[in-house]
Amino acid sequence: MTISSPANPQTYVYDFSMGDRSQGDLLGGKGANLAEMTRMGLPVPPGFTITTEACRYFLEHGHGPDGLRIQIAQETAHLEEVMGRRLGDPENPLLVSVRSGARFSMPGMMETVLNIGLNDASVAGLARHAGDQHFAWDSYRRLIQMFGKTVLDLPGDDFEHALEDMKASAGVVTDIDLPVASLKRLVDVYKSIVREGTGHEFPQDPYQQLDLAIRSVFHSWNTDRARLYRRQERIPHTLGTAVNVQVMAFGNAGEGSGTGVAFTRDPGSGARGVYGDYLQNAQGEDVVAGIRNALPLQDLEGIDKAAYDELIDTMNKLELHYRDLCDIEFTIEKGKLWMLQTRVGKRTAAAAFRIAVQLVDEGVISMDEALMRVTGHQLGQLMFPRFASSDSDQKIGRGMNASPGAAVGRVVFDSKTAVDWAAAGERVILVRRETNPDDLEGMIAAAGILTSRGGKTSHAAVVARGMGKTAVCGAESLDVDTKARVMTTEDGLVVKEGDVLSINGSTGDVFLGEVPVVESNVVMYFESGLEAALADADEPTAELIKAVDRIMQHADHQRRLAVRANADTPEDATRARHMGAEGIGLLRTEHMFLGERKTYVERLILADDEADRKEALEALLPLQRKDFIRILEAMDGLPVTIRLIDPPLHEFLPNLTELAVRVALAEARGEDVESDLRLLQAVNRLHEQNPMLGLRGVRLGLVLPGLFALQVRAIAEAACFRQRMGGHPRAEIMIPLVGSIQELELVIDEAAGVLKEVADANGCTLRFPIGTMIELPRAALTAGQIAEAAEFFSFGTNDLTQTTWGFSRDDVESAFFSAYLEKGVFGVSPFESLDREGVGELVRIAVEKGRLTRPNLHCGVCGEHGGDPDSIHFFDQVGLDYVSCSPFRVPVARLEAGRASLERHVSSGQVGVTLSDTR
């Protein structure tokens, strides 16, 4: 990192005593929390943090900023002075770790190097000072192995195979059992791997080791797996990572030493109590990698009660200080406890709801804060199905319940196969001895993850919980052979790749074959009420349901946005109402014309004269009227926004190619083709190259006389019938694909005449608002004019996204979206989450212009974005009145609407809420 020496260099390096947890953007999450623990007076090994600003500069310019090298040298010298030891000292060397630390936790995605400072001379000094040859040489081989893989980019398998060969030749099972002579030979083998792989010797200069390790951590921000993880978690690529340089605490220093990971509550279930893993005579990476099965944290009490008591006391202090579940990494070196990391812990969806409400009941946080600590995504996870029973006679093993849920799929033994099979439509279970960061793509693709090694804090468990994936870890009775692509049970049963497995992440059970699933208890709560959902629930499930109920009630109390549902049938409408929908925001009438009714529309479109057209319309009227009666009954008293027919024309006509072939074959056989030929001529006349931008929406209603009038009449007669039955129908008529006020005025004039005629004939009152969908950029830009006629706007963000980007969704998603996501053109698909800068800006413009013309203009959204959590927050900000989504997403939208209101109040300073980001 070549630099100059400016007079007043910017600070790029912070001692742990200089920062605090509020500086996560600058110091990264790990660095900020190490600084916070230092300020709290907890036992933290000294060290310093290189800022994210330095990383961003390095990645942009290929070298560090001016002043960085000098600041690192100064802080290193300060560490040496404080510790009374020097890096590389052959008598008593100082050793440090170099770890990444991004703003948001990215477990295992970036690099870590331990034991920096060891070389051929200092390893002997470490052995003499510690009085332990095994500890010193084990630390040296770990350094070369980690440095070779992460810094020098050598294949990790080369080192692993050498380690396995050495254990085999020594006749031992674990690395801690290797004799000193074997460790020395292993160091020589590792150095030869470095020499052959790089053409250079392993670096003996400890300051060069430190410099190269820091560079490696910077570079690791942009590795494929790190970028993939950030896309999965929606973490911006622009943040960069901090680098933490910290004095080593040795968990592998022999008797009285060890390392562990602890949580202040169970991150899987939310249960209170001691939770975590501990490995004796090991370094921290051993626990996370899961290469040895750890002891439950409770066992530490019997091993070293003083250290255990201090750890529990520290955990309590941290949870009270952070006011949330804390994830802690610690090392015990010869009886001395050292805190290596803390952060607000990742948790499962169930744990998030339970912990939030627990903290409210303990007086730690408010209900507002509890609402902000759960997400719509987590609520959606809780609504997934669960296994009907865990009593299947096909149970073949059991591991640790690392991440809850029910997953069924075909067995695969490597990440690439998981990705390939999933892309082909298969549900897969990724089976590994243990996972590592290179398995991330397969973990994302898989329905569930099963490992035979590792614990609840292993890489597989932590990443799975963060992604909401079902996972069972540490199923020791299952022998996984990834080379042979088989898994063998204790009873000798062989499970091959492609066989079906079912894994229960809530219990840890593993089953051969497909176990039936049933509806989630949380879905039962929404559909049948609290009492019904609690009837057969066990204690943890009951606690969860009660927590969901309390938070949902608070979200409903806080939210400004109403939540409606997109529903086309009485059954959908009824379910939506049970889910808490406050009306229907989109009833797509074209769906009512599919199946047998399609022929009526075909007759209408192909009618040659007024008589044929009238006959077709008269056949459709009673069918439409009956549809609307049933839906208005299901949503009695609530608004029902009915979109007049809006299909691409080709959906109601025979396929041109198929029809032409049929006519040609009939002619060749000498058959009568007059009817089909007439149909073919009409289809040819109406054929469109781009039906999505052709004769549809308002255009179809204007071109086909009587079509919209038929629908308006059916709605009006249905409403009159419901009024006579004592109901309270609240229909709203929505005109689709409007681009100009003239189009809208023509339809409104026709509709108003029909409504008056039906009202007069039936003696009923029909005051239906008539509005339009805003789904074309021109409509958004001329919204002020359109609002002169429209009484409400509903944003059709699916089509608005297509027409703004110039996309045909059915074509582009498979054609190039994956490449756009990979290259960073999209952070997320614009059909999944609203494009705020483009489509969102059109929404904002339309709302503002529309309300300048009509101040009381009612505005909502009925595209798929209405159920997307991030998009809901935007819709709240721009002042929409409601969102509408699928019935199943209604609870998610209600929750996020409540969170959006709180978020808006927090940003404006109206309320004080401490937000806890667990990404």
| Closest CA relative to residue 707, chosen from 755, 644, 623, 650 | 644
Position 26 pLDDT exceeds 60: yes
Tell me the C-alpha to C-alpha distance, in Å, between residue 650 and each of 306, 316, 685, 694.
77, 66, 12, 10
Q: pLDDT exceeding 90 applies to what percent of the chain?
A: 64
More confident residue, 397 or 593: 397
Q: What is the pLDDT of residue 248?
A: 92
How many other CB atoms are found less than 10 A from the CB of residue 228? 18
pLDDT band at residue 6 using 50, 70 and 90 as cut-offs: very low
For 601, phi then psi, to 5°, come to -65, -40
What's the pLDDT at 650? 63
Range with the poorest average pLDDT among 44-48, 611-615, 649-653:
649-653
Looking at residue 573, its pLDDT comes to 93
Nearest alpha-carbon partner for 892 in 918, 869, 875, 911: 869
DSSP assignment of 542-608, as one string? HHHHHHHHHHHHHHHHH--SEEEEE--SHHHHHHHHHTT--SEEEEEGGGGGSGGGHHHHHHHHH--
pLDDT over threshold 60, residue 147: yes
Q: Lowest mean pLDDT: which of 71-85, 104-118, 567-581?
A: 104-118
Looking only at the bridges linking them, the beta strands covering 448-451 and 428-432 are: parallel
Express as a percent the part of the chain with pLDDT over 70: 93
Q: Please give the pLDDT value at position 595.
A: 61
pLDDT at 2: 34
pLDDT at 605 over 80: no
Which of the 8 DSSP states describes residue 21?
G
CB-CB contact of 635 with 652 (8 Å): no
What pLDDT sits at residue 43? Answer: 97
Cβ-in-10-Å burial (0-12, 13-18, 19+) of 199 comes to exposed
Mean pLDDT of 211-225: 93
How much is the average pLDDT of 258-266?
93
Structure tokens at 583: 């009306």
Active site residues: 459, 862
How far apart, in whole angstroms, are the C-alpha atoms of residue 761 and residue 917? 60
Gyration radius of the chain's alpha carbons? 33
DSSP 64-120: PPTTHHHHHHHHHHHHHHHHT-EET-SSSEE-EEEEEEESS--TTTS-EEEEET--T
Whether the pLDDT of residue 9 is over 70: the answer is no
| pLDDT reported for residue 3 | 35
Q: pLDDT grade, residue 568 (50/70/90)?
A: confident
pLDDT band at 287 (very low <50, low <70, confident <90, very high): low
pLDDT higher than 60, residue 914:
no
The residue type found at 470 is: T
Query: With 80 as the cut, is the pLDDT of residue 197 above it?
Result: yes
Can you give the pLDDT at residue 235? Answer: 87
Q: Is 18 in a helix, a strand, or coil? A: helix
| Per-residue pLDDT tens over the stretch 622-666 | 988 999 999 999 999 999 999 998 876 666 677 778 778 888 888
360, containing H or E segment: helix 349-361
pLDDT score, position 811: 73
